[in-house]
Amino acid sequence: MKNIPLVRPKAILIVLISIISILGIDNQLFAQEYKIKTIVIDAGHGGKDGSTRGSYSTEKDVALKTAIRLGKLIEENMKDVKVILTRNDDTFVPLYERIAIANNAKADLFISIHCNDMPVVSSRYISGYTRNKKGKKVPVYKTRYAKSTSTRGVETFVSGSGRINEQDAAIKRENASIFLEDNYKENYDGFNPDDPESAIILSLMKNTFRTQSLKLAKMVQDQYVSVGRVNRGVQEKSLAVLARAGMPAILTEIGFISNQEEEDYMNSEAGQIEITNCLLKAIQAYKISVEI
């Protein structure tokens, strides 16, 4: 699938005029006819993009297992909804193709599933003492590299604005998949929140579905909390996989794979059932709320 580059400044006026004309449609009639018919479920990472791992499992495998289970659960419980998976095996799918699958299918929801991870941090410690040339006793420092294994919880993201150099570790990790693609400069022409021109266009696209995305994200977090998960909240971040979504879209981190207890939970049958049931209930609640 070929990505369509962001429009240039000369086309901004056309976009604005189009938006104004769309707003002139009878919104009440649209709301009455609107139904959730197609949901795209995205298993994060895959193939060569799969370095994040816990003590015995990888994020890409856990995300795929969860996505496939969720897809089947939706099909069994929401007969009027079509489910599309961005991948159903260990395949590398570029980020722009993931959202293109949803856009081309005219999907009503896009849900990307991931596992969180803590970054490796370095710290210095005194490993012993020695004497310098003057015979003075001085400490010998070494560097220790480790990551927090106690951090836990769930969080859900929607597309927001933010400068690249202000992104936190989780967002940098998710966006890093871009650089594994052969033609990433061409594929993501315009995905640069630091550029005023692209920021305008991305802002228009995000704001169109911002309220709905936040609503779905909150419903997902509420379901997690109801079963006792640690709530890390809903956040708006500059995520490449969500940037061009033509529908409400979220990215949910179902747990920390760097935490042994959460890794076990996400890999267990009971954990998988609980996580996917939470997502199903949130989707069902969202569907009811927008179809009234």
pLDDT digit string, tens, across residues 186-203 = 444 444 545 554 444 445
Sequence-distant (≥ 6) Cβ neighbours of residue 156 within 8 angstroms: 217, 220, 221, 234, 235, 250, 251, 252, 253
Question: How many helices (H) and strands (E) in the chain?
Answer: 10, 8
Highest mean pLDDT among 32-41, 67-76, 87-96: 67-76
CA-wise closest residue to 192 among 49, 6, 44, 4: 6
Q: What is residue 161's predicted lDDT score, i.e. its pLDDT? A: 61
Q: Spell out where the chain has E strands.
A: 38-43, 82-85, 109-116, 121-131, 137-146, 154-159, 231-237, 249-256
- Average pLDDT in the 45-56 region? 88
pLDDT band at 50 (very low <50, low <70, confident <90, very high): confident
- Average pLDDT in the 39-65 region? 93
pLDDT higher than threshold 80 for residue 166? no
Q: What is residue 181's predicted lDDT score, i.e. its pLDDT? A: 42
pTM of the model: 0.72
- Average pLDDT in the 44-67 region? 92
Q: Which residue has the higher pLDDT, 190 or 233?
A: 233
pLDDT higher than threshold 90 for residue 240? no
CA distance linking residue 206 with residue 156, whole number of Å = 16
Mean pLDDT, the chain, integer: 79
The tokens describing 73, both together, are 């659960």
- Average pLDDT in the 29-53 region? 82
Q: What is residue 142's predicted lDDT score, i.e. its pLDDT? A: 81
- Decide: 287 and 82 in contact? Cβ < 8 Å: no
C-alpha 236: how far from chain center: 10
- Average pLDDT in the 177-182 region? 44
pLDDT higher than threshold 90 for residue 138? no
CA distance linking residue 60 with residue 112, whole number of Å = 12
- Average pLDDT in the 97-113 region? 94
Q: Which residue has the higher pLDDT, 27 or 68?
A: 68
Q: What is residue 121's predicted lDDT score, i.e. its pLDDT? A: 62
CA distance linking residue 229 with residue 269, whole number of Å = 17
Q: Which residue has the higher pLDDT, 66 or 125?
A: 66
Sequence-distant (≥ 6) Cβ neighbours of residue 181 within 8 angstroms: 94, 95, 96, 187
Query: In what helix (H) or strand (E) does residue 76 lie, and over which residues does it extend?
Result: helix 59-77
CA distance linking residue 6 with residue 200, whole number of Å = 10
Q: Which residue has the higher pLDDT, 37 or 18?
A: 37
Q: What is residue 9's predicted lDDT score, i.e. its pLDDT? A: 45
